[in-house]
Amino acid sequence: MNEKLQLLTEKLKAARSVAIIGHKNPDGDALGAALALYRLIELNYGIAPVCMYDGSIPEPLADIPLRSRMRYFGHLNITEPFDVVILVDYGTARHLEFADSVIKNARFLVEIDHHKNDAPIASLCINDDTAEATTMIIHELMRGLNWEYDADVLNLLAIGMVTDTGTFKFVRTGRVMRIMGDLVDGGVRLRDIYDMLNNQPKKTILVESRAAAGAEFFHRGRLVVAMIPNRDYRNMDGRGENVLDLLARIRGVDYVVLLKEQKENQIGVSLRGRGKPVNQVAEALGGGGHIYAAGAVVRDTMENVRDRVVTLFRGI
Ligand SMILES: [Mn+2]
């Protein structure tokens, strides 16, 4: 690891231009990692990286610190290759296609990620798939290299960890909590972060409530399926986490499925298991994910996908 940190430091010291890119439709961890790294590089190497994204930023993250430094790729006019390009929290190269040209032309390519990745693309990979969030790796870099930081950095790191662990529900070891302890000691107020994340547009909450109210129960109430038709999907922000969370609170429910009609004959499927695996069902639908939280995109009608899901859970 030390050699890697040394190489990173050397490259940043010599760099005259730096770009930071996270996955398309960035979430709290991708934004937190990109913007914290932005500020750390600015503070410690005197150079302001260009952070770029594609797709949309979820509404609750619209007021994330340094949000204005995150630039929409389509609005950038990039003419010169960057000396250093850092990919954060990207998962697979597919999620970075929008920035292909920047990545291909990079003089030096770094990646910092916590996703399992069998095909890393950078020459310097600071990857750790045992970390629950990319922001944890950034924190360890910051401490390991004795970087200077400020309040924005600490808050951005905390936002990434809070969101990627489902508010610590998916924590596997004490490592996240130790880092969180360090951040709280540094002045991070979790209350403020929760307040920020709980700020959602009215139309989103109304759409999500409607979906929950119309949910159907199968297999003796152990499976619940909610659907969001396209006219509502367009008013939704994010992935419909509230629907999944609300339905998962019902006693006796083991599996929650949310079907979102992204467009005609294209259904986004989100699967949650309360201590029960759902990844195999996701795989059967052509998707994947984690054991208890997985998903797929299926090209079919809402009714057909619902029927397939119900059948796939038949043996439960
Ligand atoms: Mn992440």
Return the CATH number at 271. 3.10.310.30
Residue 102 CA to ligand 1 center (angstroms) comes to 22
Residue 213 CA to ligand 1 center (angstroms) comes to 31
Residue 303 CA to ligand 1 center (angstroms) comes to 32
Residue 14: strand pairing partners: none
- Is 162 in the same domain as 247? no
- Is 177 in the same domain as 264? no
Residue 223 CA to ligand 1 center (angstroms) comes to 28
Residue 89 CA to ligand 1 center (angstroms) comes to 5
Residue 74 CA to ligand 1 center (angstroms) comes to 23
- Is 181 in the same domain as 230? no
Residue 22 CA to ligand 1 center (angstroms) comes to 10
Residue 161 CA to ligand 1 center (angstroms) comes to 8
- Is 302 in the same domain as 217? yes
For residue 86, give the amino acid letter: I
Q: Which of 258, 226, 252, 216 is closest to 239 using CA atoms?
A: 258
- Is 168 in the same domain as 207? no
3-state SS, residue 280:
helix
- Is 100 in the same domain as 177? yes
Residue 301 CA to ligand 1 center (angstroms) comes to 31
Helix 28-45, helix 151-164: angle, nearest 10: 160
- Is 111 in the same domain as 85? yes
Residue 33 CA to ligand 1 center (angstroms) comes to 9
For residue 170, give the amino acid letter: F
Residue 164 CA to ligand 1 center (angstroms) comes to 6
Among candidate residues 162, 197, 232, the one where a domain is terminated: 197
Residue 129 CA to ligand 1 center (angstroms) comes to 10
Residue 23 CA to ligand 1 center (angstroms) comes to 9
Residue 314 CA to ligand 1 center (angstroms) comes to 32
Among candidate residues 144, 162, 197, the one where a domain is terminated: 197
Q: How many CA atoms lie within 13 A of 286 on its CB side?
A: 10
Residue 220 CA to ligand 1 center (angstroms) comes to 35
Q: Tell me the residue range of the domain where 290 lies.
A: 202-312
The count of domains in the chain is 2
Residue 214 CA to ligand 1 center (angstroms) comes to 31
pLDDT tens over the chain, length 316 residues: 689 999 999 999 999 999 999 999 999 999 999 999 999 999 999 999 999 999 999 888 999 999 999 999 999 999 999 999 999 999 999 999 999 999 999 999 999 999 999 899 999 999 999 999 999 999 999 999 999 999 999 999 999 999 999 899 889 899 999 999 999 999 999 999 999 988 888 998 999 999 999 999 999 999 999 999 999 998 887 778 899 999 999 999 999 999 999 999 999 999 999 999 999 999 999 999 889 999 999 999 999 999 999 999 997 7
- Is 73 in the same domain as 105? yes
Question: β-strand 18-22 against 223-228: which pairing, if any?
Answer: unpaired
Residue 307 CA to ligand 1 center (angstroms) comes to 32
Residue 58 CA to ligand 1 center (angstroms) comes to 15
Q: How many CB atoms lie within 10 A of CB 147?
A: 18
- Is 273 in the same domain as 188? no
- Is 156 in the same domain as 97? yes
**Are 259 and 306 spatial neighbours (Cβ–Cβ below 8 Å)?**
yes
Q: Looking only at Cα atoms, what is the longest distance across the chain?
A: 63
Residue 55 CA to ligand 1 center (angstroms) comes to 16
- Is 95 in the same domain as 162? yes
Among candidate residues 165, 197, 229, the one where a domain is terminated: 197
Q: Full-prediction pTM beyond 0.85?
A: no
- Is 295 in the same domain as 248? yes
Residue 104 CA to ligand 1 center (angstroms) comes to 23
Residue 295 CA to ligand 1 center (angstroms) comes to 16
Distance CA 31, CA 277 (A): 29
